[in-house]
Amino acid sequence: MWCRGAGRLDRDVALVYSCEGSPSRTMTFGDLRRQVAVMMQFFRRIGLQKGDRVAAVVCNTPETVVTMLAVTGLGEDLCRRMASVKTLLTLPLDGAMEITFHEDIVSRVPDVFQARYSDIMNTGTTDLDVRPGDAMLYYSTASWMMWNWLVAGLASGATLLLYEGHAMHPDPLVLWRFFDEHGGTLFGTSAKYLQDLEKMEIVPKSTFSLSRLRTLCSTGSPLYPHSFRYAAECIKRDLHLVSMSGGSDICSCFLTGNPTGEVREGLLQVEGLGMDVAVVNPFGESTVGRTGELACLQPFVSQPIQLWDDENRAKYIQTYFDKAKGGMWVQGDHCLSFGSPIKGFVILGRSDATLNPSGVRVSSSEIYQVVLGHRGVRECIAVGRIHNDAEHIVLFIVLAGTHRYTASFVAELKKMIRETLTSFHVPKHIFMVGEIPKTKNGKLMEKELKNFVNGLPATNLASAQNPDVFREYERFVHKPRLHPRTPSPHAWRSEYEEEHGFPPPTDSMDY
Q: What is the pLDDT of residue 485?
A: 40
DSSP string for 147-166: HHHHHGGGGGTPEEEEEES-
Q: What is the pLDDT of residue 503?
A: 55
The 10s digit of each residue's pLDDT in 371-420 is 999 999 999 999 999 887 788 999 999 999 889 999 999 999 999 999 99
Fold identical between 28-112 and 354-500?
Answer: no
480 DSSP 8-state letter: -
| Beta-carbon count within 10 A of 504 CB | 19
Mean pLDDT of the 317-344 span: 86
Q: Is the pLDDT of residue 207 over 80?
A: yes
In CATH, what is the architecture of 28-112?
Answer: 3-Layer(aba) Sandwich (3.40)
Average pLDDT, the chain: 83
Going from the C-alpha of 473 to that of each of 292, 354, 378, 453, 461, the distances in angstroms are 31, 20, 18, 7, 13
Nearest to 33, CA basis, from 61, 73, 85: 73
Q: What is the pTM of this model?
A: 0.77
Residues 6+ apart with CB under 8 A from 30: 9, 10, 11
Q: What is the pLDDT of residue 84?
A: 41
Q: What is the pLDDT of residue 502?
A: 53
Which range, of 188-202, 401-415, 471-485, averages the lowest pLDDT? 471-485
Show me where the domains of the chain are located.
28-112, 354-500
Given a contact cutoff of 8 angstroms between Cβ atoms, the answer to whether 57 and 29 are in contact is no
Q: Is the dihedral of CA 39, 45, 47, 50 positive or negative?
A: positive
Q: 501 versus 273: which is more confidently predicted?
A: 273
211 DSSP 8-state letter: T
Mean pLDDT of the 233-251 span: 94
| Class of 354-500 in CATH | alpha beta
132 DSSP 8-state letter: T
